[in-house]
Amino acid sequence: MATNININLTVGPVAGFFGGLFLFFKGFRTYREYLRVQGTPGIPIRSIAMGLVRIHGKPTSEHLLNSPISHTPCCFYKVEIEKWKDEGESGTWLHYGSEANGVRFYLEDSSARVLVDARGAEFDLESNVVREVASAKSSSVAASGASDAELLDYAAQRRGAGNPSLS
C-alpha cells in the first residue's frame, strides 16, 4: 500500500512537469504567429501578392446569409457558444461549441477588388452581437434577432448535429 502511494505522488509531479513544458513551448509558437501577423503591413488590394496579407475594404456579394443570432444579412458569420458552469459561489464560462459559415464575396477598396473565399481562413472579427439566455423557459425576443427559445434550439442543434464546423 505504501508503494502505491509513492507511485501516485511521483506520477502527479512528472505529469505536471511535462504538461507545463508542453504549454510553455506551445505559448512560444502562438506568440511567434501573433508577431508574424502583427508585422504584416496593411496594403491596398491592387498590391496584394500570394501569401499572408492584411487588407481592409467593403464587402459585396450577390448572395448573402442571415446571421443565426441577429438575423442580419452578412457575407460571413462566426458564432461562439458558451455555457455557464456553477462552481460553488462562483462560476466560469465553458466553450460549448462554435460555428462559422460564409459565402464567396468581393472585398473592395479605392484601388481594386478581390474575391474572398472565407472557408478555412483565419479572421480577426469584431463581436457585433452578444446574447445571453438565462434558462430554457425564457421566450422573450431581443430588440432584433432571434428569441431566447430560438437561441437555445440553435445551440442544441449545433451541439448534437455532429457538425464538422462545430468544435
Kindly list the distances between the CA atom of residue 158 and the CA atoms of 20, 45, 133, 149, 163, in Å, as whole numbers in the listed order: 33, 36, 16, 14, 7
Note the pLDDT tens digit of each residue in 83-114. 888 888 888 888 888 888 889 999 999 999 99
Boundaries of domain holding 16: 1-39
Note the pLDDT tens digit of each residue in 20-73. 888 888 888 888 877 777 777 778 889 888 877 778 889 999 999 998 888 889
More confident residue, 10 or 165: 10
Residues 69 and 31 reside in one and the same domain: no
Residues 123 and 69 reside in one and the same domain: yes
Residues 80 and 33 reside in one and the same domain: no
Q: Give a yes or no: residue 166 inside a domain.
A: no
**pLDDT given for residue 139 in this prediction:** 44
**pLDDT given for residue 82 in this prediction:** 87
**Number of domains within the chain:** 2
Give which of 165, 161, 80 is closest to 121, Cα–Cα.
165
Give which of 84, 100, 110 is closest to 164, Cα–Cα.
100
Helix intervals (H) in the chain: 2-38, 148-160
**pLDDT given for residue 105 in this prediction:** 92
What is the Cα 18 distance to its own chain's centre?
28
Residues 35 and 98 reside in one and the same domain: no
